[in-house]
Amino acid sequence: MKIDVEALRSAGGKAITYAFTLHGANLEMDSEDVQFLEPVQVQLKAMYGEGKVKVQGSLRTRLILTCGRCLKSFSYHYSQEFEDEIQVTEETAINSVELIRDIFMTTLPLKPLCDAACRGLCPTCGADLNQTQCGCPADNLDPRLLVLKKLLD
């Protein structure tokens, strides 16, 4: 999907509305960590003014992400409002797929969590602390930091 800059210029400052869906394969983001359950629903308005195209809209989809603490996959409802200005000089069209990919990549959570209270994995034995309590010692300190611990005591 292309945003026609010439059509926006000739619209005289009025916004043009676009509504379309993108499949995850089009965004070239399908990986082990991010999988699309549904196509991305895109709603956007574009308006030209003073050598810039102002774009605002929303993205909605459902994803499967991997929890950053326990490494389990979970369903995630992605919903994002966005606003951007794109400087245009000689361009006749803006590739909306690249725009959506950039917005998507910058707004996905850096460390997705299946639950805010997720306890993660034990750093010693690897047990899922959400399901079981392992017998590993809780204060497994690096011996180099013991001097600092003495200062706190």
Are 3 and 94 in contact by the 8 Å Cβ rule? The answer is yes
Which amino acid is located at 89 in the chain? T
Query: What's the pTM?
Result: 0.76
Instruction: Provide the residue range defining the domain that includes 146.
Output: 119-153
d(CA 65, CA 136): 29
d(CA 125, CA 41): 42
Residue 51 shares a structural domain with residue 8: yes
Residue 127 shares a structural domain with residue 61: no
Residue 111 shares a structural domain with residue 132: no
Query: One digit per residue, pLDDT tens: the chain, 153 residues?
Result: 788 888 888 887 888 899 999 888 888 775 677 889 999 999 999 998 888 899 999 999 999 999 999 999 999 999 999 999 988 877 788 888 888 888 988 899 999 999 999 999 988 888 999 998 888 877 666 778 778 877 877
Q: What is the DSSP string of 91-122?
A: -SEEEHHHHHHHHHHHHS-SS--S-TT---B-
- pLDDT confidence of residue 135: 82
Residue 40 shares a structural domain with residue 61: yes
Q: Structural domain tally of the chain? A: 2
